[in-house]
Amino acid sequence: MNTAPAPSPAQRYSLSRTLPIAVLLFTIVPLVIAGSLSLAENSQRLRAEQERLTRQTAVLLAGRVRQLMLSAERMAVMIASTPGVKELLDGRIRSDAVLYLELRSLVRSHPELDRAELLDAQGRKLLGYPLDPGKDEGVQRLPARHASWRPRGPGEGVDVLLPVANDPPSARPSGWVVIGISPGALVDAIQLPEGSSEEARAFVRAPGAALPVASVARSVTALAQPNPAPSDVLYSEAEAHAGWTVEWVDSLETYRALVREELLRFTAVTLAVSCLSAWVAWRFARGLARDIRGMARSARALLKGHHLNAHVELQRDDELGLLARSFNHMSWELEKRDRERDVFGRLVSPEVRDQLLQGELMLGGHEVEVTVLLSDIRGFTQLCEEMKPRDIVLTLNEYFTRMTEAAQRYGGYVNNFMGDAMVVVFGAPKPDEHRVVRALYAAVAMQQALDEFNRERSTYGAPTLVAGIGLASGTALAGQIGSPDRCIYTVIGDTVNVAARLEGLNKLHPEMAALANPATFALLPPALQALLRPLGAQYLKGRDRSVEVYALPRDAALPPPPAHLMKAEEEVL
């Protein structure tokens, strides 16, 4: 009588125990080796990052000092243009109480200033605030004819000397306006950023000066310590204004702390990965054993002729999956033909959806150089009052169709429709070195398309449409804006705002086809620049400073566009 063989000792071990141990051993050793190499690489990266942060900090502090100095220069220019300055410098009056009050008001209203004075051509003080009766000597050093910055001494602040030109102009100015920045203002400008180390120090240094004009440190000991060796610190220097520099010195202790933190993080990651690997291996082994047991049950059911029970519900792409599919194939051949369709339907995965979800909805953007064209129909709101909603929609659809074709013919990207306005971008999503020329030709093509549309509308008595166009070139942020559930590709920035303001200004110049900003004019070739007319400095709505505006007349005869600027007929949607 034959008996079943006893199971061998190897069959007493479970994959749920042996596989996690093996995976753990084979994971830790390579992980330690790879981690050591990565730690060395990260140390170099952290050093480079600290050096980059040092440079950025120096540039940041230099920017603050620059703003402070430029503000003082603007105040000096304002004082120089104040009524009474010329009379006082020419000697026509000996004093000016109103001018003194203005100097006092200027110093009191700006905490960063500590003095405001008026000097004659020889450097003698004529008027100033605060009053200093015991100190009436002339200025020892005066610049030639241009504004100059002069340090008073370490920790004593700085002065800007602005010449007051003679009328008529001569080789020597008639006097000088002196505006002083207090030492505290300089110290506030180079205050150390949050997160800097205790050894961090910042200095403001005049051109050619051995000692700094102002200095800041976390501690007195850090500021008083001598210059350390270059290998012990991170040093960076950035120019602030007029040759003045800001120096930033930081200890390497921050870098060493980051390296220690990276080592601790690596240790934690190693432990976490090891535990995770063991857990994943246990789950994998457990699932693998379950699938094998399921296949064994199916084999027994198939052997007994239970074809329905022999079907294996196992979806794998490895050898076990191949074996399961073999079992299923045998059962399918014994079942009805319609079972094949059902099983196939359960095996199919939504591949198209997976492709769409592979990181395509990343929000954000990047800076690009673009030319923005913004057009708007004049008085369309009043026209809508006399039209039916259906007629309004039909009119806008036909109008936008023609405008879109004209813009796309020259490579424009129609970014958005806002009521009866449309925004067209040249230079995004793909960079375009011919974006300005394309935008100008597109503006003319849009006006021509509108003229043709108006001729058709006149045949059935529809009112004439007039559109204004603004062109602005500059930097903008292009990217996907919105949320992960819904986002659009668009461009934002001041360039878009300028285009909108120029389009609004076009109302005052109906004889012009389009208005452009100086950046657009500068990027045009000379042949096209000659066709534009300068309108001078114009104040745009919502902007503090005026902008030079250039206009393209409606009757301007542009040369035929080069073939490379236009898209083929079949490429225009």
Q: SS3 string of 477-493?
A: EEEEEECCCCEEEEEEC
Residue 424: per-residue pLDDT: 93
Dihedral angle over CA of 311, 312, 315, 316, nearest 10: -130
Percent of the chain scored above 70 by pLDDT?
Answer: 76
Give the per-residue pLDDT at 306.
62
Q: Above 90 in pLDDT, residue 314? A: no
pLDDT of residue 261: 83
Strand bridging mode 113-120 / 175-181? antiparallel
> Do 556 and 524 contact (CB within 8 A), yes or no?
no
Q: Which of 139-153, 218-232, 315-329 has the weakest average pLDDT? A: 218-232
pLDDT score of 2: 44
Amino acid 175: pLDDT = 86
15-80 helix and 97-109 helix, angle to the nearest 10 degrees: 170
For the ranges 33-37, 174-178, 185-189, 396-400, the lowest mean pLDDT is seen at: 33-37
Q: What is the pLDDT of residues 62-91, one digit of tens each?
A: 999 999 999 999 999 998 888 788 888 877
Task: Band the pLDDT of 16: cuts 50, 70, 90.
Answer: low
The pTM (predicted TM-score) of the whole model is 0.43
pLDDT at 9: 43
What CA–CA distance (Å, rounded) separates 339 from 55? Answer: 69
How far is the CA of 513 from the CAs of 106, 412, 421, 500, in angstroms? Answer: 47, 18, 16, 15
Taking residues 134-139, report their average pLDDT: 49
534 contacts 550 by C-beta, under 8 angstroms: yes
> Can you name the residues that pair with 215 across neighbouring β-strands?
203
Residue type at position 535: L
pLDDT value of residue 194? 81
- Predicted pLDDT at 376: 92
Helix, strand or coil, per DSSP, at residue 114: strand
Give the domain ranges of the chain.
Answer: 13-303, 305-348, 364-571
Q: What is the pLDDT of residue 348?
A: 30
Q: What are phi and psi of 469, to 5 degrees?
A: -130, 135
Q: What is the pLDDT at residue 353? A: 38
Higher pLDDT, 257 or 334: 257
Any alpha helices (H) in 81-90, and if so which ranges?
85-90
The pLDDT-based confidence of 571 (bands split at 50, 70, 90) is low
* Mean pLDDT of the 336-362 span: 39
CA separation, residue 139 to residues 84, 171, 429 (Å) = 22, 19, 58
The answer on pLDDT for 472 being more than 90 is yes
Q: Is 55 left (phi over 0), alpha (psi -120 to 50) or beta?
A: alpha
In words, the CATH class of domain 364-571 is alpha beta
Q: Which pLDDT value is given to residue 363?
A: 61
pLDDT of residue 568: 58
Residue-wise over 343-365: b if at least 16 C-beta within 10 A, else e?
Answer: eeeeeeeeeeeeeeeeeeeeeeb
Residue 341: per-residue pLDDT: 41
What is the sign of the dihedral through the CA atoms of 34, 35, 39 and 45? positive
What's domain 13-303's superfamily in CATH? PAS domain (3.30.450.20)
Tell me if 13-303 shares its fold with 364-571: no
| Model pLDDT, residue 365 | 73
pLDDT for position 330:
67
Q: What is the arithmetic mean of pLDDT over 457-469?
A: 88
Q: Are 166 and 156 in contact (CB under 8 A)?
A: no
The answer to which of 308-312, 346-350, 424-428 has the lowest mean pLDDT is 346-350
Using alpha carbons only, give the angle 51, 57, 61 rounded to the nearest 5 degrees: 150
Question: Residue 322: pLDDT above 80?
Answer: no
